[in-house]
Structure 1
Amino acid sequence: MATDLRVSLTDRCNLRCTYCMPEAGLQWLAKPDLLTDDEVVRLVRIAVTQLGVTEVRFTGGEPLLRPGLPGVLERCAALRPRPRISLTTNGIGLHRTAKTLRTAGLDRVNVSLDTLRPEVFRTLTRRDRHRDVLEGLAAAHAAGLTPVKVNTVLMPGLNADEAPELLAWALDLGYQLRFIEQMPLDAQHGWRREELVTAEDILRRLGERFTLTPEGSARRGSAPAERWLVDGGPGTVGVIASVTRPFCRACDRTRLTADGQVRNCLFAREETDLRTALRSGEPDEALADLWRAAMWGKKASPDLDAPAFVQPDRPMSAIGG
């Protein structure tokens, strides 16, 4: 069974990143369709106590938009055995909430930031919130939500040239930078393989300024990022190459959407409905059995580079990263 659970708390976001959402017109999930805080905690408890989950990451959309987030964190941190708890966020609002979230039980954060240039940030996200993200990162680090990881997607003609600059910045501030190949999970289905900035491209650009030494597959385990020591270490950089270097055989993740659907793969085209069973009064054991069956039915890994690949109907914002 998967030991890493990704829980989406909302499909809403306060940015409109070009590789994720259209500027307008995306229909959000209706509030009655969303899992309540109690339902989220119950399903996390089942995953931890009956299915062997040891790490829970809360995602979105943007999870900081969920009003009950601190309470959900506190209740999940009280579970025994206690899971490791992390959060993937765009960082907006983190400068106000980092201490509260740490106190509630959050262990660390992943913050999405694709550029150090405010004008490029506005182009990529269609919002003028660059300073908020930088302040959020600093607040997370100060609150002890470490290691603070920064997730970066490079786009040709926009920020692809920033790779070395981003790495130098992250090393200087003590953040762990991870470059992520753009995946075919945008709401507008505009992804084009020929426009992809690949892992090979990223490493070539970094190699022009830094000496990179592979950290070794033994230390990677089931982590999605391949990691390199930078100039002999101790600093590192990671690359998540879902398209050109898939790592499906080592994947230990399962995903729960904000409306209570289990997905056994980020690129799955089928889901298992836990919300209906939960609201119908099914006991924990029955929900656990449904969940197990969903994971046992996981298909062979998709080849994102293959012409026959079909993008999932749900975009990343509605799946949870």
Structure 2
Amino acid sequence: MPDKLIDKFGRVHDYLRISVTDRCNLRCVYCMPEDGMEFEREEHILSYEEIAKVVRVLAGMGVTKVRLTGGEPLVRKDLDQLIGQIADIPGIQDISLTTNGIFLAKKAEKLKAAGLYRLNISLDTLRPERFGLITRGGDVAKVLESVEACLRLGFEPIKLNVVLMKGVNDDEIWQFIELTERNPLHVRFIEYMPIGHEGDSWRNKYYPLNNILSQCEEKGWRFREETPAAGNGPARYYRVEGHQGTFGLIHPVSDHFCETCNRLRLTADGNIKPCLFWSDEFNVRKWIGDDEKIKELFLQALDIKPENHEMAKVLAKHEPQHAPTIRRMSQIGG
């Protein structure tokens, strides 16, 4: 049995996204139900040592890039210790973090010293009142403070993730692109996705991204497509003439990018997810310490990984071939 992480469609997987917790200090409208949710008990969550053991096995199978996520990864104590453990694993070349940014300003320096390379910061609006509504109580000033702190510390790239929602924040596109004028920021607009949603309520907020470029032209901005910023993200990047940073478009629903997918996911409770959208999972936790069994499980996960996530079928109300996940995004890892 070959050890390299190559699926039956020839896609090489060198990227692992690890959720370190399903807990979060915010309750974003697209991530959690309004009344919150039941979190995993602490004893069911992978320890840092267990995570590092899994990463060590996968590094031997060709994984070179790791992203830590949640929930909100910075609600877990001493995350820099895990980053340090992963950074010491031979073969790991890149460690990144996805965060809502609320706690980041005070922790960024220690995280960078431990070996963190890159940051994705979720920021769906620049308006304080609207931020409070989207996150159900968050303070946008703390996120902006974190962005400034990370610019000072020299993180590169710093990506701002903006989930565009029709009638909610789709009137702020220009303000976000203007952030890239004087700062080397990479703003990524992301389509609203039906992850773990019951029914069709998500459709009311779905905003396709295919008209953003034409709107830029109407504004009189000259722009060109850019080579992607560091990392394995699916965005297509563009730079407005004279701007230091870029903006990117990630449209998983209207224009899926599955043919180049190179990632696997490990949930906080120890489940391998070969595809974000589908329900298939393989629990690896009980096998930690048995490297050969861990290899076998990841290869099994790859063997059933579908060719694409078929979100567009869900949008068009066509029946998908696979069962969509019932887990919310915070339970899977953003």
- TM-score clears 0.5: yes
Question: Which of 17-26 and 253-262 deviates more?
Answer: 17-26
Partner secondary structure for residue 15 of structure 1: coil
1:232 shift after superposition = 6.9
The 8 Å contact of residues 26 and 137 in structure 2, kept in 1 or not, is answered as yes
Residues 12, 207 of structure 1: alpha-carbon distance in 2 compared, 3 angstrom cutoff: farther
Amino acid at match of 2:29: T
1:296 shift after superposition = 2.3
Of the three residues 109, 121, 133, the one matched with 1:123 is 133
Residues 220, 143 of structure 1: alpha-carbon distance in 2 compared, 3 angstrom cutoff: closer
**Aligned counterparts of 2:243 and 2:139: Cα–Cα separation in 1:** 32
The 8 Å contact of residues 182 and 244 in structure 2, kept in 1 or not, is answered as no
Q: Which has the higher helix share?
A: 1
2:38 maps to which residue?
27
TM-score w.r.t. length of structure 1 = 0.92
Question: Which of 78-87 and 168-177 deviates more?
Answer: 168-177
Q: What number of residue pairs does the alignment pair up?
A: 316
The 8 Å contact of residues 27 and 36 in structure 2, kept in 1 or not, is answered as no
The 8 Å contact of residues 220 and 226 in structure 1, kept in 2 or not, is answered as no
1:194 shift after superposition = 5.2
2:300 maps to which residue?
293
User: Quick check: 1:317 aligned with 2:330?
Assistant: yes
User: Quick check: 1:161 aligned with 2:168?
Assistant: no
1:144 shift after superposition = 2.2
**Aligned counterparts of 2:96 and 2:232: Cα–Cα separation in 1:** 16
Amino acid at match of 1:10: T
User: Quick check: 1:111 aligned with 2:111?
Assistant: no
Q: CA RMSD in A?
A: 2.1
Amino acid at match of 1:302: H
1:14 maps to which residue?
25
1:233 shift after superposition = 6.1
Partner secondary structure for residue 305 of structure 1: helix
1:66 shift after superposition = 1.1
**Aligned counterparts of 1:258 and 1:10: Cα–Cα separation in 2:** 5
1:57 maps to which residue?
67
Please list every run of 5 or more consecutive structure 2 residues that lacks an aligned counterpart in the other structure.
6-12
Q: How far does the alpha carbon of each residue in 1:177-223 deviate from its partner, in whole angstroms, 9 at most, with x for none?
A: 11000111155666433531111133333333322323379x99963
2:56 maps to which residue?
45
TM-score w.r.t. length of structure 2 = 0.89
Please list every run of 5 or more consecutive structure 1 residues that lacks an aligned counterpart in the other structure.
none
Residues 187, 244 of structure 1: alpha-carbon distance in 2 compared, 3 angstrom cutoff: closer
Residues 136, 231 of structure 1: alpha-carbon distance in 2 compared, 3 angstrom cutoff: same
Amino acid at match of 2:100: N
**Aligned counterparts of 2:244 and 2:41: Cα–Cα separation in 1:** 46
Partner secondary structure for residue 312 of structure 2: coil
Could you tell me the percent identity over the aligned residues? 39
Of the three residues 93, 106, 109, the one matched with 2:103 is 93
**Aligned counterparts of 2:132 and 2:212: Cα–Cα separation in 1:** 23
2:309 maps to which residue?
302
Partner secondary structure for residue 179 of structure 2: helix
2:9 maps to which residue?
none
Q: How far does the alpha carbon of each residue in 1:209-250 deviate from its partner, in whole angstroms, 9 at most, with x for none?
A: 322323379x99963101123227664211000000100010
